[in-house]
Structure 1
C-alpha cells in the first residue's frame, strides 16, 4: 500500500468517526502510521485532504449512478437500484452528505467543480425515459425533475440531518444504520407506488 493510500484510508476512518470539524491532522497521521510532517507534505491542510477524499469517493459513485441512469432497465428498476446503491454508498461514507452541505455554504467553488466534473451524474436519458413512459400511459403524469428531486431528497436527507433524525426518533447508531438499510427498499416502493398507474 502506498503512503497516499494509507492516508486516504486513515482519513476516511477518522472523518467517519469525528466528522470534518472534529477530525485532526495528527489523528489522521497516527491512523496512517506516518508522522504529521509526511502528511502535510502530501496534503497541506485538512481541507485539501478532505476534498481529495471526497473526490475519490465521488469518482467511485458517479459512474455507478450514470450506469443506472443510462441502462436499459425500466424506470421502476432504476429507482430500486439507485436507492440500493446510493444508500449503501453513504452508509460506507456517512460524513459526505454533511460535508457537501457545509461546502455549498462555505466553499461554493469546490461544489461547482463537482458539478462540472466530467463524470458527474447526468440524468438526461432517465428523464427522457420517464417522459416516454408517461406518454405511453405506463406512468402517472409527473414532472420528471420533481421525481428525481424526491428520490435524491429521500435518500440524502437522513444522512445530512443524521444528528437531528437520531435525536427526534431516539435512535442509537445501530438503530439508525438498520433504518437506513430498510430505506433501501421502502423509499423505492413508496416512490413507485406514487407514480404507477
Structure 2
C-alpha cells in the first residue's frame, strides 16, 4: 500500500508542478504553491525533490521520455524520407495536442538556462538524426530529393511543427480563430505540413 501511495503522491506533485511551471515559468514558480496544488505540505515536497531545479527537470524528463522514443523510432526506422516526414509530423502534433505546454516550456528554460539541453542531450534516448542525415544524402544522390542538406531539412520539419504550439496566442489573433477553430487547424497540419515539405523537396 505504501508503494502505491508514494507513486500517487509523486504523480500529484509532477502534475501540480507542470501546471505551475507552465503558468509561472521556472523563475516565477514557488515550491509552496506547487505543494499546495499537489495537496501536500512543503516538507513532503522537499522529501521528493530537494529543490525547484530538480523538480523542473523531473517534469521535463517525464514528458520528454514519452516523446523521445516516438521521434527516435521514426528517425531510425527503414522507411523513406517522405514516410519519415509524414510519421514525424503526425506523431509530434498528436503528442503536443496532449502536452501543449511543452514547447513553450522548453524554450523558456533554454532562454533561462542554455546549458540545460546539453544535459538532456547526454541522456539515453535523446533523438539521434544520424540515420536521417545518411538517408537524406542518399536520396539526394539517387535523384529522389532535390539537393538539400539534412540539417536544413530537419530544422524545417521542426520549425513548422513546433511554432504553432509556441506562438498559439499570436497565431490565433492573426487567424481570428477561437480555441476550437485553432485546434481544427492544428489537426489538419498533421498532413498539410508533411505535404508542404515533401512537395518542396521531392523531384517530380
- Name the CA shift for 1:176/1:139 in 2 (closer, same or farther; >3 Å): same
In the alignment, what sits opposite 2:173? 167
Q: Name the structure 1 match of 2:161.
A: 155
Alignment CA distance shift 1:25-1:171 (3 Å) = farther
Long gaps (5+) in structure 1: none
Checking the alignment, whether the CA contact within 8 Å between 1:15 and 1:95 is kept in structure 2 is: no
Deviation at 1:12, TM superposition (A): 3.4
Q: Report the TM-score, using the length of structure 1 for normalisation.
A: 0.88
Q: Identify which of 144, 156, 169 aligns with 2:150.
A: 144
My pick for the range that moved more, 47-56 or 140-149, is 47-56
Contact 1:20 1:95 in 2 (8 A): no
- Structure 1 pair 172–129 and aligned structure 2 pair: CA distance change class (3 A): same
Structure 1 residue 27: deviation in Å?
A: 4.9
Contact 2:49 2:55 in 1 (8 A): yes
Which residue is 1:20 aligned to? 25
Question: Which aligned pairs between 1:126-141 and structure 2 lie closer than 5 A?
Answer: 126-141=132-147
Q: CA deviation at 1:93?
A: 1.4
Structure 1 residues 118 and 140, CA, compared in 2 at 3 Å: closer, same or farther? same
Deviations 1:163-196 (A, max 9, x none): 2222222232222222211111110011111111
1:4: which partner in 2? 10
Helix, strand or coil for the counterpart of 1:171? coil
5+ residue gaps, structure 2: none
1:76 Cα deviation (Å)? 0.9
Q: CA 1:162–1:48 in structure 2 vs 1: closer, same or farther (change >3 Å)?
A: farther
Q: How far off its partner does 1:85 sit? A: 0.8
| Aligned residue-pair number | 196
Q: Which residue of 2 aligns with 1:110?
A: 116
- Work out whether residues 138 and 196 of structure 1, in 8 Å CA contact, stay in contact via their aligned partners in 2: yes
Residue range with higher mean Cα deviation, 161-170 or 59-68: 161-170
Give distance in 2, aligned partners of 1:173 and 1:49.
30
Query: How big is the shift at 1:117?
Result: 2.1
Q: Does residue 121 of the first structure (1) align with residue 144 of the second (2)? A: no
1:180 and 2:165 aligned: no
Aligned residue number for residue 41 of structure 2: 35
